[in-house]
Amino acid sequence: MIRGIIKLIFYILLAYVIYVIYRFFQRIAKASKDQRVSKHPSGMMVKDETCNTYLPKEEALKEVYEGKEYYFCSKGCRDKFLEQKKDES
62 Cα distance to chain centroid = 16
Distance CA(57)–CA(46), nearest Å, equals: 6
Distance CA(80)–CA(73), nearest Å, equals: 12
pLDDT score at 83: 92
Q: Please indicate, yes or no, whether residues 31 and 52 belong to a single structural domain of this protein.
A: no
Task: Tell me the pLDDT tens digit for each residue of 22-60.
Answer: 999 999 888 777 655 445 567 899 999 899 999 999 889
Beta bridge partners of 61: 72
Distance CA(52)–CA(59), nearest Å, equals: 15
Our count of domains for the chain comes to 2
Q: Please indicate, yes or no, whether residues 30 and 52 belong to a single structural domain of this protein.
A: no
DSSP state at residue 67: T
Q: Please indicate, yes or no, whether residues 2 and 27 belong to a single structural domain of this protein.
A: yes
Q: Please indicate, yes or no, whether residues 22 and 1 belong to a single structural domain of this protein.
A: yes
- Domain of 84 in residue numbering reads as 45-88
CATH number at residue 83: 2.30.170
Q: Please indicate, yes or no, whether residues 52 and 30 belong to a single structural domain of this protein.
A: no
Beta bridge partners of 27: none
pTM of the model: 0.53
Q: Give the whole-number percent of the chain exceeding pLDDT 70.
A: 89
pLDDT score at 31: 76
